[in-house]
Homo-oligomer: A and B are copies of this chain.
Amino acid sequence: MKPYTFRARYYETDQMGIIHHSNYIRWMEEARIDVLNQLGYPYRRFEEMGYMSPVLHAECEYKKSVKFDDEMKIIVSLQDFGRLKFTLRYDIYNMSEGGCLSACGTTKHCFLNSGTGRPVMMDKEMKEFSDTLKTLLKTDKD
């Protein structure tokens, strides 16, 4: 898995002269979608297949502020995996500041059937995807 990299955008700054904290939540989404693409499960396809995946919970701890044009790197891992819900973890590094950890966060998700609105039993209805997702599981050795 290649980490997700990008440069902090000017329109993401605020008048403190740093990236506004709300954008980290969006960066996590960008990284999540990039990881799904790399795993061979583009998010686009889930929606086409009649699933949606709302965010149930999101959280971010801000450790060191990020500046415009800083080169960022996000590593996504699987923190938790149940039959109905899973939690992704994001470690956000600032390569323009010596690769320091700028923030870390999590998002919790489920899948819903777009038609019925009912939650999807992932281990049954999405067995192959579930198995692939579990390869992102952080092990003790990481």
A residues whose Cβ falls under 8 Å from a Cβ of B:
9-11, 13-18, 20-23, 25-26, 29-30, 33, 42-44, 47, 52, 54-62, 65, 68-69
Q: Is the interface of A mostly helix, strand, loop or mixed?
A: mixed
Q: Is the CB of A18 within 8 A of B54?
A: yes
B26:A9 contact, CB within 8 angstroms: yes
Q: A58-B59, A68-B44 are in contact. Are A10 and B15 (CB under 8 A)?
A: yes
B-side contacts of A33, CB under 8 Å? 9-10, 69
Residue numbers in B under 8 Å from A47 (CB-CB): 15
Chain B residues whose CB sits within 8 angstroms of the CB of A22 once the complex forms = 11, 22-23, 25-26, 29
